[in-house]
């Protein structure tokens, strides 16, 4: 087995006085794996994703991603870590409405200091790969849900991240668009991209993930390898 990309050791996250959102979770995800984090609402899925993305800090334990102790990073360090190591895909796409599709995709690269021309070439390449290059100069509001999520995936990949995190990537899509996205993630995984999906969508988990982690009340209730349904 490859060296782990993600290592969570005894990670807990508490908010105020309530029960812990995550409670002593330990998890290792190897490079090239595609892991689906499953569980009901409030089980801690998004919290786990936020901790891995460096959007939040654990109350206890350590989070290491691609050799970086994410739990020790400050705000600036977290930002640099995200742009270097992480690509994120959100349920509601989170594309910026006042930027064109191409500008949306280029943004993380430009924030990382890539020259505009280079970033544009990289963005167009990705948009072409994902089949939405004809919308490069359009604004996100004019695209269908599936197309928007493809653009979001292109944006997530523009900096060639070690890890792609996806939070309910089909949650806001109709069936046909959801199917498009499932295929997309399958293709990415086939190309060796390490993926962590948080989803309610069992179909997505079955079709894209090689492993599922079931969270219940902030704890790992099950961790199993699955054979993806293609």
Partner 1 sequence: MSALGGVVRSGVGRRRVQTVVVGLVVMIAVTVAVLGGSLMVAARAPFDRAFSQQHGAHLTAQFDGARAMAAQLSASARVAGVAAAAGPFPTATITPASGRGGPVQPITVVGRAGPGGPVDAVTVTEGRWATGPGEIVLQADHRLPRRLQPQVGDALPLSGPAGGQTLTVVGVARSVSETAGGWVVPEQVAALTAPGATAGYQMLYRLAESDTAAQIESGRAAIEASVPAGALAGARSWLTTRTNSAGSVVLFVPFLIAFGVLGVLMAVLIIGNVIAGAVSTGTYRIGILKALGFTPQQVVRAYTAQALVPAAVGAVLGVVAGNLLVVPVLAQTNEVHGTTDTGVTPWVDLLVLAGALALVTATAWAAASRAGRLRTVEVLAVGRTPSPGRGQWAARLAARLPLPRAVTLGLAQPFARVLRSATVVAAIAFGAAAATFAVGLGVSLNAVQATESDGDVVIFPGRPISGPPPEGAPTVAPGPPQPPDPVAVVEAITAQPGTSGYRGVAPTELTTAGLTSALQTLAFTGDDSAHGYQMISGNWFSRPGEIVVSRPFLTATGTRVGDSLVLTDHGTPIDVRIVGEVFNVESRGMQVLTAAETLAATQPDLRALEYHITLTPGTDPVGYVKALNAALASVEATAEVAEEESDEILLVVNALTGLLTLLLVTVAALGVLNMVVLQTRERVHDLGVHKALGMTPRQTIGMVIASVVVTGLVGGAVGVPVGVIMQRVTVAEMGHAAGFNLPASVIDIYHPAELVLLALGGLLIAVLGALLPAGWAARTRTATALRTE
Site residues (vs partner 1, CB under 8 A):
50, 53, 55-56, 75-76, 78-80, 82-84, 88, 90, 94, 96-100, 103, 107-108, 110-112, 116, 139, 141, 155, 159
Q: CA 58 to CA 79: how far, in whole Å?
A: 17
- Measured from the CB of residue 192, what is the shortest distance to partner 1 in angstroms? 22
- Measured from the CB of residue 97, what is the shortest distance to partner 1 in angstroms? 4
- Measured from the CB of residue 48, what is the shortest distance to partner 1 in angstroms? 12
Nearer to partner 1, 115 or 190 (CB): 115
- Measured from the CB of residue 135, what is the shortest distance to partner 1 in angstroms? 15
How many Cβ atoms sit within 10 Å of the Cβ of residue 15?
11
Q: CA 38 to CA 157: how far, in whole Å?
A: 23
CA neighbor of 188 nearest in space, from 168, 208, 213, 167: 208
170 touches 150 (CB < 8 A): no
Nearer to partner 1, 199 or 207 (CB): 199
Q: CA 124 to CA 64: how far, in whole Å?
A: 32
- Measured from the CB of residue 194, what is the shortest distance to partner 1 in angstroms? 18
CA neighbor of 189 nearest in space, from 43, 56, 34, 46: 34
Nearer to partner 1, 159 or 207 (CB): 159
Nearer to partner 1, 155 or 211 (CB): 155
Nearer to partner 1, 79 or 226 (CB): 79
- Measured from the CB of residue 124, what is the shortest distance to partner 1 in angstroms? 15
Phi-psi region of 80 (alpha: psi -120 to 50; beta: other; left: phi over 0): alpha
Q: CA 16 to CA 120: how far, in whole Å?
A: 44
């Amino acid at each position: 087995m490859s060296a782990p990309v993600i290592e969570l050791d005894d990670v807990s996250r508490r908010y105020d006085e309530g029960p812990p959102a995550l409670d002593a979770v330990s998890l290792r995800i190897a490079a090239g794996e595609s892991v689906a984090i499953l569980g009901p609402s409030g089980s801690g899925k998004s919290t786990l994703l936020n901790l891995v993305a460096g959007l939040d800090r654990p109350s206890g334990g350590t989070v290491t991603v691609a050799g970086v102790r994410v739990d020790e990073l400050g705000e600036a360090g977290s930002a640099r870590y995200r742009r270097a190591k992480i690509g994120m895909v959100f349920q509601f796409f989170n594309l910026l409405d006042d930027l064109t599709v191409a500008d949306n995709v280029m943004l993380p690269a430009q924030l990382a200091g890539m020259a505009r021309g280079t970033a544009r070439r990289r963005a167009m390449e990705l948009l072409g790969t994902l089949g939405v290059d004809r919308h490069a100069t359009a604004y996100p509001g004019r695209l269908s849900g599936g197309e928007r999520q493809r653009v979001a995936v292109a944006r997530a990949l523009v900096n060639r991240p070690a890890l792609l995190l996806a939070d309910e990537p089909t949650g806001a899509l109709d069936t046909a668009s959801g199917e498009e996205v499932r295929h997309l993630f399958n293709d990415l995984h086939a190309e060796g991209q390490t993926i962590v999906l948080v989803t309610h969508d069992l179909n997505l988990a079955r079709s894209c993930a090689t492993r599922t982690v079931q969270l219940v009340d902030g704890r790992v209730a099950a961790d199993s390898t699955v054979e993806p349904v293609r």
